[in-house]
């Protein structure tokens, strides 16, 4: 690398991160370019292609994944290696999926940055040297044709050098630089070839997913250098317990995988126990500290009904999750039938069928009316509805409640597709009843905090409203605290863009966490919905009653309408009226029904008759 000055583009919307990365890279003699957002990064790269890009994942507007997709779609920029900078381990697999070469974790660690950047720079230098060597070889062959004896000898030497470089590049592309074991890409290729072979001939094989327990304890206590050393020693330990024919790879983070052929399910379990024994006898020493290791191992039998690497990983992830739940050092064999006898695993198992549910339209749209609690003012209250998702299970032939499938949907980042489906269904429904728009106050749609990161959602909602000729004021998005909103500025911009279309926002499950108050102060919410855990038993629990009273007072101070959910008896309803709560929602007033245009007309007809009776 001596004598070659490489250009590195740093893309991050946080000045502190840019300063840290710049300080590290300037010490390496790199020439730096800096962009604080995705469009600027693409502009700089097009103007002068850098040798390496350090790309932040979470940025307002265009996130890092979209920037990477556009870079890889440009033939002139596709070969530039991209290292993602992220604080979320869930982003790592997505980053590799859009073409990333590596990742750096936040908070930024200087040693980690140096190691990963040097790895990519070495690769770039080798590529540059290889291209130069190829050009040099072609020229020398032409110049030395007349001197065949000397030219042939020199040519052999240079070809050997090129082969070495090609072998080195292939090694870097298929191996993890920390452990020197195969990487995820190599594992994907190996498993895909094995699955194709299994379709043609009967072959017994098992897949083991190994997850080091408490790896973060070492990594955060002793630092990333110690963490890398632990990974190297652990990889050597496991590989020493395997046969030469077994395929061993590091997936990323603290996860490893083994593919062992000519093994039954029992043989896979025995191999997992053998690995456990080796681990139990091992101690990791760093400076004056000694750590005992353990690992959770998932065992999946590879069969013909598995047709892709992603499907196999989904099964292994599920079994690994269960192994973690059973405690340190557990072994769990994947069994699709186990869900029928273990109700606690329903929300995990149904993650496997969410893909089919979205593709085959198994989701159902339900609605629950809200009841106004304020004193009648002469004018009838407009209809307020919250929409709810249900999932049809064709195996059990019943509808599943959101508690069964929303958690796995968020875990596998499918909740964005479900939220988009819900919005599309609600807007299409409103488009069928234009004559009822003046009688409808709003229809609420639950929106996961994960979904507000969807850069294209605002445009999608705008297109739906225009297509079905629906005023934006009829939509209210309820944002829940299922996951922390990590970028308040981005969330505020997202909400404001939809408010410009007339849409409104409600903070759902208010009071369930301290973050609620931060969101209420920093984000443009129009209303508050009190978490049902405080409302349901406020007539018998003085603490919950006091909390509801405090939240009602806060709502009045902020001049925001308040909705209380999970109202199930008249005593609670009377207490809510006395506190000045505006709306109530719960089984006392209405049980959710499948939402259709006809049902909307029936509800509004019932409301009109009730108002007429009050006047009479």
What the chain holds in terms of domains, given with CATH numbers, is 7-174 (3.40.50.2300), 184-334 (3.30.70.270), 348-370+382-527+580-603 (3.20.20.450)
Cα–Cα distance measured from residue 290 to residue 497, given in angstroms and rounded to the nearest whole number: 53
Cα–Cα distance measured from residue 515 to residue 239, given in angstroms and rounded to the nearest whole number: 45
Q: Which of 261-265, 295-299, 582-586 has the lowest mean pLDDT?
A: 261-265
Q: Angle at CA 95, nearest 5°, toward 360 and 70?
A: 90
Is the distance from CB of 526 to CB of 504 less than 8 angstroms? yes
Is the distance from CB of 531 to CB of 482 less than 8 angstroms? no
Q: Which residues contact 559 (CB under 8 A, 6 or more apart)?
A: none
Task: Report in angstroms the alpha-carbon separations of 248 from 233, 236, 244, 245, 583.
Answer: 14, 10, 10, 10, 58
pLDDT per residue as tens digits for the range 393-403: 887 788 888 87
Mean pLDDT for 212-230 is 80
Cα–Cα distance measured from residue 26 to residue 317, given in angstroms and rounded to the nearest whole number: 40
The pLDDT, as a whole number, for residue 337 is 64
The pLDDT, as a whole number, for residue 256 is 95
Nearest to 360 by CA among 392, 335, 387, 384: 392
Cα–Cα distance measured from residue 386 to residue 79, given in angstroms and rounded to the nearest whole number: 48
Count of CB atoms within 10 A of residue 208's CB? Answer: 27
Give the bridge partners for 506, in sequence order.
478, 527
pLDDT per residue as tens digits for the range 436-466: 999 999 999 998 877 887 888 999 999 999 9
The pLDDT, as a whole number, for residue 568 is 93
Q: Is pLDDT of 129 > 90?
A: no
Cα–Cα distance measured from residue 361 to residue 355, given in angstroms and rounded to the nearest whole number: 10
Is the distance from CB of 530 to CB of 510 less than 8 angstroms? yes
Cα–Cα distance measured from residue 478 to residue 509, given in angstroms and rounded to the nearest whole number: 9
Assign 611 a pLDDT band (cuts: 50, 70, 90): low
| Strands 583-584 and 371-372, bridge-based pairing | antiparallel
Q: Is pLDDT of 238 > 60?
A: yes
Give the bridge partners for 302, in sequence order.
205
Assign 386 a pLDDT band (cuts: 50, 70, 90): very high
Cα–Cα distance measured from residue 177 to residue 449, given in angstroms and rounded to the nearest whole number: 35
Count of CB atoms within 10 A of residue 416's CB? Answer: 19
Instruction: Give the H/E segment covering residue 272.
Output: helix 265-280
Q: Could you give the strand order of the β-sheet that contains 31-35, starting from the edge strand earlier in sequence?
A: 31-35, 7-11, 52-56, 82-86, 102-105
| Helix, strand or coil, per DSSP, at residue 297 | strand
Joined tokens for residue 103: 């990742």
pLDDT per residue as tens digits for the range 348-373: 455 567 888 888 899 999 999 999 99
Give the bridge partners for 33, in sequence order.
9
pLDDT per residue as tens digits for the range 50-109: 989 999 999 988 999 999 999 999 998 988 999 999 888 777 888 889 998 888 888 888
The segment with the largest mean pLDDT, out of 56-65, 289-298, 468-477, is 468-477
Assign 513 a pLDDT band (cuts: 50, 70, 90): low
Joined tokens for residue 459: 């445009």
| Helix, strand or coil, per DSSP, at residue 500 | coil
Q: Length of the chain, please?
A: 616
Assign 596 a pLDDT band (cuts: 50, 70, 90): very high
CA atoms within 13 A on the CB side of 390: 16
Task: Tell me which residue has tokens 């407009």.
Answer: 382
Cα–Cα distance measured from residue 130 to residue 165, given in angstroms and rounded to the nearest whole number: 7
Is the distance from CB of 552 to CB of 510 less than 8 angstroms? no
The pLDDT, as a whole number, for residue 584 is 95
Cα–Cα distance measured from residue 344 to residue 359, given in angstroms and rounded to the nearest whole number: 26
Nearest to 46 by CA among 12, 9, 19, 16: 9
pLDDT top residue among 581 and 524:
581
Cα–Cα distance measured from residue 272 to residue 479, given in angstroms and rounded to the nearest whole number: 43
Instruction: Give the H/E segment covering residue 181.
Output: none
Torsion of CA 312, 318, 319, 324, to 10 degrees: 140
The pLDDT, as a whole number, for residue 12 is 92
The pLDDT, as a whole number, for residue 339 is 44
Work out the mean pLDDT of the chain and round it to a whole number.
84
Q: Which of 198-202, 248-252, 449-453 has the lowest mean pLDDT?
A: 449-453
Q: Which of 80-89, 218-227, 240-249, 524-533 has the lowest mean pLDDT?
A: 218-227
The pLDDT, as a whole number, for residue 482 is 46
Mean pLDDT for 517-527 is 78
Q: Which of 205-209, 377-381, 421-425 has the lowest mean pLDDT?
A: 377-381
The percent of residues above 70 in pLDDT, for the chain, comes to: 89
* Burial track 237-268 (b if 16+ CB lie within 10 A, e otherwise): bbeebbeeebbbbbbbbbbbbbbbbebebebb
- Is omega for the bond preceding 180 within 30 degrees of 0, making it cis? no
Q: Which residues contact 303 (CB under 8 A, 6 or more apart)?
A: 198
The pLDDT, as a whole number, for residue 613 is 53
Nearest to 192 by CA among 93, 312, 335, 333: 312
pLDDT top residue among 213 and 279:
279
Nearest to 105 by CA among 222, 219, 211, 182: 219
| Helix, strand or coil, per DSSP, at residue 287 | coil
0.75 exceeded by pTM:
no
The pLDDT, as a whole number, for residue 380 is 59
Nearest to 92 by CA among 104, 107, 109, 81: 104
Is the distance from CB of 595 to CB of 367 less than 8 angstroms? yes
Task: Report in angstroms the alpha-carbon separations of 362 from 256, 312, 343, 355, 389.
Answer: 35, 23, 21, 10, 10
pLDDT top residue among 555 and 167:
555
Task: Report in angstroms the alpha-carbon separations of 230 from 77, 103, 214, 253, 274.
Answer: 36, 19, 12, 12, 20
| Helix, strand or coil, per DSSP, at residue 250 | strand
Q: For the chain, give me the number of helices (H) and strands (E)?
A: 22, 23
The pLDDT, as a whole number, for residue 589 is 93
Joined tokens for residue 234: 């652990």
Nearest to 604 by CA among 386, 383, 438, 373: 383
């Amino acid at each position: 690398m001596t004598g070659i000055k490489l250009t590195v583009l740093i893309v991050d919307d946080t000045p502190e991160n840019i300063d840290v990365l710049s300080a590290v890279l300037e010490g390496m003699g790199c020439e730096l370019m800096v962009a604080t957002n995705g469009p600027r990064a693409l502009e700089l790269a097009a103007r002068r292609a850098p040798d390496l890009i350090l790309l932040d994942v979470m940025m307002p507007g265009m996130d890092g994944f979209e920037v990477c997709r556009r870079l890889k779609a440009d033939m002139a920029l596709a070969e530039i290696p991209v290292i993602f900078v992220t604080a979320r381990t869930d982003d790592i697999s997505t980053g590799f999926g859009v073409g990333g070469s590596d990742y750096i974790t936040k908070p930024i660690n200087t040693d980690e940055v140096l190691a990963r950047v040097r790895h990519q720079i070495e690769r770039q230098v080798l590529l540059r040297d290889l291209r130069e060597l190829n050009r040099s070889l072609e020229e020398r062959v032409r110049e030395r044709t007349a001197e065949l004896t000397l030219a042939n000898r020199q040519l052999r030497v240079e070809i050997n050098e090129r082969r070495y470089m090609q072998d080195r590049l292939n090694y870097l592309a298929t191996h993890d630089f920390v452990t020197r074991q195969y990487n995820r890409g190599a594992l994907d290729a190996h498993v895909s070839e094995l699955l194709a072979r299994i379709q043609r001939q009967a072959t017994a094989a098992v897949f083991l997913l190994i997850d080091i327990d408490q790896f973060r304890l070492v990594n955060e206590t002793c630092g990333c250098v110690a963490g890398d050393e632990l990974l190297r020693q652990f990889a050597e330990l496991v590989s020493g317990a395997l046969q030469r024919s077994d395929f061993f790879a590091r997936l990323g983070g603290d996860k490893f995988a083994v593919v062992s052929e000519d093994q039954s399910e029992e043989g896979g379990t025995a191999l997992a126990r053998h690995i456990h024994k080796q681990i139990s006898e091992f101690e990791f020493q760093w400076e004056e500290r000694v750590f005992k290791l353990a690992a959770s191992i998932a065992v999946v039998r590879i069969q013909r009904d598995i047709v892709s690497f992603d499907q196999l990983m989904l099964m292994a992830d599920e079994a690994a999750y269960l192994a973690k739940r059973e405690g340190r050092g557990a072994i769990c064999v994947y069994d699709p039938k186990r869900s029928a006898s273990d109700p606690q695993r329903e929300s995990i198992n149904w993650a496997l069928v969410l893909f089919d549910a979205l593709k085959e339209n198994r989701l159902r749209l339900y609605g629950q009316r809200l009841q106004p609690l304020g004193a009648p003012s002469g004018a009838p209250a407009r209809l307020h509805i919250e929409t709810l998702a249900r999932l049809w299970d064709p195996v059990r032939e019943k509808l599943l409640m959101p508690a069964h499938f929303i958690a796995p949907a968020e875990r596998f980042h499918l909740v964005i597709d479900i939220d988009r489906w819900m919005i599309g269904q609600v807007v299409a429904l409103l488009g069928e009843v234009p004559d009822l728009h003046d009688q409808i106050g709003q229809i609420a749609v639950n929106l996961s905090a994960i979904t507000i990161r969807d850069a294209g959602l605002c445009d999608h909602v705008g297109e739906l409203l225009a297509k079905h000729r629906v005023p934006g004021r009829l939509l209210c998005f309820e944002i829940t605290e299922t996951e922390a909103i990590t970028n308040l500025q981005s969330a505020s911009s997202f909400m404001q863009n939809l408010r410009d279309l007339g849409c409104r926002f409600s903070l759902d499950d208010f009071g369930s966490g301290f973050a609620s108050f931060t969101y209420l102060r920093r984000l443009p919410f129009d209303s508050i919905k009190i978490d049902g855990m405080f409302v349901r038993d406020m007539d018998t629990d003085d603490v919950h009653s006091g909390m509801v009273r405090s939240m009602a007072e806060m709502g009045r101070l902020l001049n925001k309408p308040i909705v209380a959910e999970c109202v199930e008896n008249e005593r609670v309803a009377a207490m809510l009226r006395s506190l000045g709560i505006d709306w109530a929602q719960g089984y006392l007033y209405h049980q959710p029904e499948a939402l259709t245009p006809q049902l909307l007309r029936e509800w509004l007809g019932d409301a009109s008759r009730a108002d007429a009776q009050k006047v009479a």
